[in-house]
Structure 1
Amino acid sequence: MKAFGFLSFGHYAPMRGSQTGTAAEMIRQAIDLGVGADELGVNGAYFRVHHFAPQQASPVPLLSAIAAKTQRIEVGTGVIDMRYENPLYLAEELAALDIISAGRIAIGVSRGSPEPALRGYESFGYTGSTDPRGGDLAREKFALFLKAIDGEGIAPADPRQAPAGTLLPIEPSSPGLRDRIWWGSGTRATAEWTAQLGLNLMSSTLLTEATGVPFHELQSEQIEAYRTAYKAAGHTRPPRVSVSRSIFPIMNSKDAMYFGVRDGGDQIGIIDGLQSTFGKTYAAEPDELVEQLKGDSAVMAADTVMLTIPNQLGAEYNLHILEAFAKHVAPELGWKPNTDGPVQGDPID
């Protein structure tokens, strides 16, 4: 494991015990958490994106604020739902964010997960999908987004200002931005498609497949399929792979109260109408966690691990989780504190 960071779902609600009763509290604490994680040497600060829900929804302002207040930590998403996006405006925003952060971004995008709204992207003005889940819309938009960040001409120029037939690219542009784009993949097939495009792979705590094997084995098969397809496609840039896990070192009685009773197994369920495998939660004392994670083939195959955090417990408590993992678990898995910035991908064999 080269790198680890936190993945926040950005929940907020005026519930008993919640430290994030409002959107303002959630966003401000997210910035504090990003700054504190940078000081600890944690590699990444990543945020989920959901719409029509009391969760983090518009990531670029938040990531810009964290990037402006930090020096080394990578800022990113896991993931942006392309169904809801204007691909050209997103290309402009991410180019600006890449410039602000000096290339410290890891932007995960995908079709997105189920939302509370019924085809909510249509309320954003994006209609015409023939897929009940909007997958065709997401892929179409993503193709245009990639063209835009690659600097291709997009919009016909006004012939009074440029030669006829001129196509204008989006501005600003940020060289190398494509290398910092990840696709959030839930299957082996989408992992191979991601590899063919030369993008990084972001794999979550669930896969929309269920073959009877443990989750980590299913996920490591996905990673291997991705790397094989990446090499076969002829890409030369070392690719990056991240996985998400719920991992809680038990350091004191409060940790035990929150996370000490877990069944420790994978789960099979239905998400978005598809049978899916959900990874288990890891919660134990550090020495036991190290052994458990060494036995997780996907964690050991990935270069980056994203720790899903309970953001409603507040920035201070979540920094405690990150510090415990950084001091007592991660070094035994090959990690070293971040002193230089984002990690590089794994070499292609």
Structure 2
Amino acid sequence: MPPTSKPLRKLGFLTIGLFDETDPRRGHESTLSIIELGERLGFDSAWVRHRHLQYGISSPVVVLAAASQRTSRIQLGTAVTPLGWENPLRLAEDLATVDILSGGRLNPGVSVGPPMQYERVKHALYPDTADAEDFGYERVRRLLAFVRGEPATDFSGTEGFEAYSDRVQPHSPGLAGRMWYGGGSLRSARWAGEQGMNFLTSSVVKAEESEDFAEIQLSHIRAFRAHHPEGERARVSHGLVVIPTDTASAQQRAKYEAYAHKRMPRTTAPQGPARMMFAPDLVGSSAEIAERLHAHAAFREVDEVAFALPFTFGHDDYVQILTDIATELAPALGWRPSV
């Protein structure tokens, strides 16, 4: 291990929660079962993604509310909630409610920007205000203010038989310190630091000052911490796709390698007008993956991860991958379960 590497302190995983349109319950139950397995294996956190108008989790906060009643220790997060689909006041109510139900285990991650396929969905999403909506950082500021308990109205007190609060209820005092921003650019990294948020960095970044993925990601982490009140102690979670094969069958190994090979071309150069860079998926034994992570310039700067599970695999594949991560890969990175 290079001397600059930090022992892994917090181990998490991320799932998209795919389901079959003809049997959506089965897919959602599979996701909940995987989260329960994560807790049994000692994972510190489980994260879910949004997929609107697709066959993945469209309402992560609801799924995490269910997960909170099936688990007792594991942290539960969104990575990430695109705020272009959300009303910040209503979302703040939902987040606080789930945080209360979970006993203070919710870790909401958010991002900004227009919703995907906005031109095709805007008249359904914002029929009267589609061209006036602001999808920038102000949307996050509003959410943070409501989560922190700042006034949402200038009225409180009793009117008739009804009692009213001037801030979002329920209020969960610790939630504000567990808000994360998912960023892939220097601007986002700096902004998240200035807001005192936590920072999620993933397998996608914007190629601005370099075309080396690890170098770009490292610059984001350092920019975030340079602008954060807590400096080097500010929390950053790293989220590459890792697929250990220690206990995989020959058939599984072949599938995993084909998956990574198919996605490899997008990692060789910036993609599209936004010049997005994608990290290669890491497939192999835990020892091989650990060696590659130890050599990763950005990974060496963090002690928290939310390893992303591949999108299209089956339940048994996820069980094998999570088990190998918890029992082989994470210990090789210096992690020890907290239970």
TM-score range, shorter chain: 0.7 to 0.9
For structure 2, which runs of at least 5 residues remain unmatched after alignment?
1-7
Report how many residues are paired. 323
1:144-159 matched pairs, under 5 angstroms: 144-157=142-155
Match of 2:302 in 1: 302
1:119-130 matched pairs, under 5 angstroms: 120-125=121-126, 128=129
Match of 1:196 in 2: 194
The alpha-carbon deviation at position 302 of structure 1 amounts to 2.0
Match of 2:253 in 1: 256
Match of 1:17 in 2: none
CA contact (8 A) 1:83 1:121 kept: no
1:315 aligns with 2:315: yes
Match of 1:108 in 2: 109
Match of 1:347 in 2: none
CA contact (8 A) 2:241 2:310 kept: no
CA contact (8 A) 1:72 1:338 kept: no
Match of 1:98 in 2: 99
SS of the residue 1:274 aligns to: coil
CA contact (8 A) 2:152 2:167 kept: yes
Match of 2:26 in 1: 25
Q: Which amino acid aligns with 1:43?
A: D
Aligned equivalent of 2:13, options 6, 29, 36: 6
CA contact (8 A) 1:311 1:318 kept: no
Distance 1:236 1:308 in 2: 26
Q: Which amino acid aligns with 1:120?
A: V
Tell me the TM-score normalised to structure 2 length: 0.86
CA contact (8 A) 1:121 1:127 kept: no
The alpha-carbon deviation at position 312 of structure 1 amounts to 4.2
Cα gap change, 1:237 to 1:222, in 2 (>3 Å): closer
The alpha-carbon deviation at position 121 of structure 1 amounts to 4.8
Q: CA RMSD in A?
A: 2.6
1:267 aligns with 2:268: yes
The alpha-carbon deviation at position 52 of structure 1 amounts to 1.8
Match of 1:143 in 2: 141
Match of 2:239 in 1: 244
Distance 1:259 1:62 in 2: 27
Distance 1:211 1:320 in 2: 38
Cα gap change, 1:113 to 1:36, in 2 (>3 Å): farther
For structure 1, which runs of at least 5 residues remain unmatched after alignment?
15-20, 340-349
Cα gap change, 1:195 to 1:62, in 2 (>3 Å): same
The alpha-carbon deviation at position 227 of structure 1 amounts to 0.7
Greater mean deviation of Cα atoms: 140-149 or 173-182: 140-149
Query: What is the percentage of aligned positions where both structures have the same residue?
Result: 27
1:199-218 matched pairs, under 5 angstroms: 199-218=197-216
The alpha-carbon deviation at position 90 of structure 1 amounts to 0.7
Q: Which amino acid aligns with 2:9?
A: K
CA contact (8 A) 1:208 1:276 kept: yes
Tell me the TM-score normalised to structure 1 length: 0.84
CA contact (8 A) 2:122 2:130 kept: no
Match of 2:183 in 1: 185
Distance 1:176 1:151 in 2: 11
Distance 1:335 1:278 in 2: 26
1:41-71 superposed Cα distances (whole Å, 9 cap, x missing partner): 0121111112122221111111011111112
Distance 2:20 2:169 in 1: 38
Cα gap change, 1:41 to 1:160, in 2 (>3 Å): closer
Distance 1:85 1:322 in 2: 31
1:58 aligns with 2:59: yes
CA contact (8 A) 1:50 1:57 kept: yes
